[in-house]
Amino acid sequence: MVKRSHGLLRGTGIQPRPVHGRLKVRDLVEEHFLAYNAARLREACELFSQRMLRSNVTVGMSITGALTPAGLGMSSLIPLVRNGLVDWVVSTGANLYHDTHFGIGLKMFRGQPNIDDRELRKEGVVRIYDVLFDYRVLLETDAFFRKVLATPEFQCEMGTAEMHYRVGRYVRARERKLRLGRVSFLAACYEAEVPVYTSSPGDSSIGMNVAALALDGIGPRIDTSRDVNETAAIVLDAKRRKGKSAILIIGGGSPKNFVLQTEPQIQEVLGIKEAGHDYFLQITDARPDTGGLSGATPSEAVSWGKIDPNMLPSTVVAYVDATIALPILTSYALAVRRRRPLRRLYGRRQEMLERLAREHRKARNRRH
Active-site residue set: 306
Strand extents, DSSP E, the chain: 57-63, 88-91, 109-110, 125-128, 131-134, 157-158, 196-197, 221-222, 244-250, 279-283, 316-318
Find the helix or strand (DSSP H, E) in which 218 lies: none
Give Cβ neighbours of residue 169 (< 8 Å, ≥ 6 apart). Answer: 190
Cα–Cα dist 241/243, whole Å: 5
Cα–Cα dist 341/59, whole Å: 13
- What is residue 217's three-state secondary structure? coil
> C-alpha distances in angstroms, 291 versus 176, 286, 288, 294, 312?
46, 10, 6, 9, 20
Give Cβ neighbours of residue 66 (< 8 Å, ≥ 6 apart). Answer: 94, 95, 98, 128, 129, 131
- What is residue 280's three-state secondary structure? strand
- Under 8 Å between Cβ of 61 and 250: yes
